Every structure is written in structure tokens, then in C-alpha cells.
């Protein structure tokens, strides 16, 4: 499994609703609230060879009240 992270900026006041929707969809490994430019940091896992771009577009962006995302692809855990 290949891990990657998505920073999510929600509509104002919607971080908890978006986090709940992600948890209910059972697509995220971990969901954290954050301070700063983004509201949530979400860790996902995909099988090798699966397309991260399609996953984010089809599974994450369909969640209501997401304003912006930034995907962080990881290489190696230390």
C-alpha cells in the first residue's frame, strides 16, 4: 500500500462536517484538524498502481464543502 496525504481547506465553519463525511466514507486512514492555511490533514493508502489523481478527484472532491486541496505524495517512511 502506498501512503499519501491531502491537505483540505473547507468552506468556513465546515471542517467538522467534512471530517465526519470522510470518516463515514471509510476512505481515509487518519484525519487531523490543523491550524493555518488548511483545515484538515488526511492520510490515505492506495494499492500500488492505483491512480492517486483519480482517487482524489473521484473520492475526495465529491465531499461537500471542500474548497481546496493540496496532495502530498510520499516516498519513504523513516
Query: What structural domains does the chain harbor?
Result: 2-73 (3.30.70.920)
What local confidence, expressed as pLDDT, does residue 61 receive? 97
* CA 12 – CA 22 distance, rounded (Å): 17
What local confidence, expressed as pLDDT, does residue 56 receive? 98
What local confidence, expressed as pLDDT, does residue 40 receive? 98
Q: Which of 77, 10, 64 is nearest to 39 (CA)?
A: 10
What local confidence, expressed as pLDDT, does residue 38 receive? 98
Half-sphere exposure of 54 (CA within 13 A, CB side): 4
6-62 confidence digits (pLDDT tens): 999 999 999 999 999 999 999 999 999 999 999 999 999 999 999 999 999 999 999
Amino acid at each position: 500500500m502506498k501512503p499519501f496525504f491531502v491537505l483540505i481547506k473547507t468552506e468556513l465553519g465546515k471542517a467538522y462536517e467534512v471530517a465526519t463525511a470522510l470518516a463515514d466514507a471509510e476512505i481515509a486512514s487518519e484525519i487531523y484538524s490543523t491550524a493555518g492555511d488548511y483545515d484538515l490533514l488526511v492520510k490515505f493508502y492506495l494499492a500500488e498502481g492505483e491512480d492517486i489523481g483519480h482517487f482524489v478527484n473521484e473520492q475526495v472532491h465529491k465531499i461537500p464543502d471542500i474548497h481546496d486541496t493540496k496532495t502530498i505524495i510520499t516516498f519513504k517512511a523513516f
